[in-house]
Structure 1
Amino acid sequence: MQFIDQAEVEVKAGKGGDGLVAFRREKYVPAGGPAGGNGGKGGSIYFVADEGLQTLLDFRYAHTFKAENGGRGGPNNRTGANGKDTIVKVPTGTVVYDAKTDEMLGDLVEPQQTLCVALGGKGGLGNQHFLSNRNRAPDYALPGLDGEERLLRLELKLLAEVGIIGLPNAGKSTLISVLSAARPKIADYPFTTLVPNLGVVRKPSGDGTVFADIPGLISGAHLGAGLGHEFLRHIERTRVLLHLIDATAEAPLEAYHTISDELQAYGRGLSERPQILALNKIDAVDLSEAEVEDLAQKLAELSGGPVFCISGVARIGLDALMQKVWECLDEMALS
């Protein structure tokens, strides 16, 4: 399935039904009064968050959504039928913006959460509504009002508690494939992962926690370099960041600074997010054990926290790392 996390759609709510001009024409009622009914309300358009959807791919093929118009008022003071509402399912985690004003209309983060994105027009008043002592036979009615019409921008932000970040080829996809049932593409060259990957990792208690592998972060990602500008938004909802540093890289310390600087430049509180640092691929590094420990110590001094030496491929050090992740999530849940 193709991963699409941005889309533009046009929504047009239904027009309200026109009011009716009508008079009573009953036998034995010589002075029948106005009896034109009001028009029905136009249908509205609602977005509903659906857990079963993981991408905005459907909106690549369906760009316009319309609701039904309201019915015209009827004789004998009968109100016209209301237009049928249009329900559009979107993935949970979708943020809806007005594309013209950039105003955020809603953030659908809960399953079955509903957002009205276009309100149907009101029905016009029939002539019976204008009856008064001064006007005993009004011969006019009001037309129905147009429904709201909008151009919307949809952005999907993945819902994950833990975001795995790092430079390309740091081993993020390998780690999520080892920890969960996710099966991302893995290869020994940068930018293998072109879309975020989600995986459910089981806690010791048996509860599932969603991890997200965020691809494409390089220097300048917040400005559009690489793929990071497209996917940095997915980190916004994560509670904890798991930062992988490739121990086999030429400059591991510089790699740490690169990612930290990008989080700071992107803003939205990402640089203040709890971060767990892991030095990955220690099984493949051409360093002695003492040199690996020295590198980990330097990273710890930079980050101000512990650094875990791990290998996703060889499954080294993962138990201690995951224990720290669970402790961090539990502490945040209590605060």
Structure 2
Amino acid sequence: MRRIASLLIAAVTLFSVLLMPGRAQAQDELKNTDPDKYYILLDLRNQIVTVFERDESGEYTKVVRRFLCASGRTDVDEADPEDEATPTPRGIWKIGGRERFGKFANFSSSYARYWVQIVGSIYFHSILFTKRDINAMNRQAFNDMGNKVSHGCVRLYVEDARWLYYYACPGTTIEISASEPSQRDLKRALKTKLSFSDYNAFQKTIVDETDELPNPRVWVTVEGARLRKGSGSAFDSVARLQVGDELEVLIESEVWVKVRYGKKEGYVLRGHISYQQGVMDTRPDADVLKTTEWLYAEPSLDATQLVKAPARVSVQVLETTEDGWKKIVYQNVTGYVKPNRIVKDWGVIIEGYEPQAVEP
């Protein structure tokens, strides 16, 4: 798959489809801004993350870094009928926004350093903390490294999460696989030999070179937009928003944006906000994906799967085949999605449409 990815990336035209803000989708300066520089493989079987760089032939074979991780829980308690697995979603995704030290909006006392979005509410981030404080690292989370224990996110040692935070820029490709060969020795080698006490002291020395940049602001453009505990309509509502409400952006994203509203943190649909006060940069009849879908190289289920695009993301439709497949552009990838997967809904304005003034 890495060979296919390198050829596909070389073949596509790199251009921005959506009118997104001109920032680097984070509140810290990136140390890498080329989304094609690295290819990330998350090996669920061995709980190993490998970062590849291109070799002389343009293929992603050069190993840059390897991390131990703790991904989503797959085992369930058979005695508890309400217990559910929370696996990390497999597929090929595009890295999204970032946050330096974030709070889990859906949990009361859980925080982590160096968030990097994989898709939706699934992130790379550090070992857990009980407060937004480097002195509050969670001992159990440290002991759990190398096991499938999370709610779907991918936990890393702090130093590894920090590296991804600065070098895996938005648009970087990540492949999540459960079919890699066993690598027990490598997994054992990647696990820290430090005790909790020693590692806790070490991680406190991991600091950033500069202060965070100011968070961007957005304004609500749809009356009754909901602030939710997670990136999806199924999550509980935190607040009902009104047109003109100002929000502080914590993690920029193409579908659900993590924001702060007063003292509350949560997620708001990208189609319900604007980065320009008083100006609509979204529209109610945008082309958006109804569900999370693969983009295929050709209009056939037998064709190469290029990348997965999340539900409710805005896309550009180029053409429709006779049997209903849609040829679309998502990020910098052109491919086909199955019939009846595109609907009209609130989404970002595609190039070629003029922004409309917000009605008072």
TM-score, normalised by the number of residues in structure 2: 0.26
- Name the one with the larger helix percent: 1
Higher strand share: 2
Q: Quick check: which has more Rg, 1 or 2?
A: 1
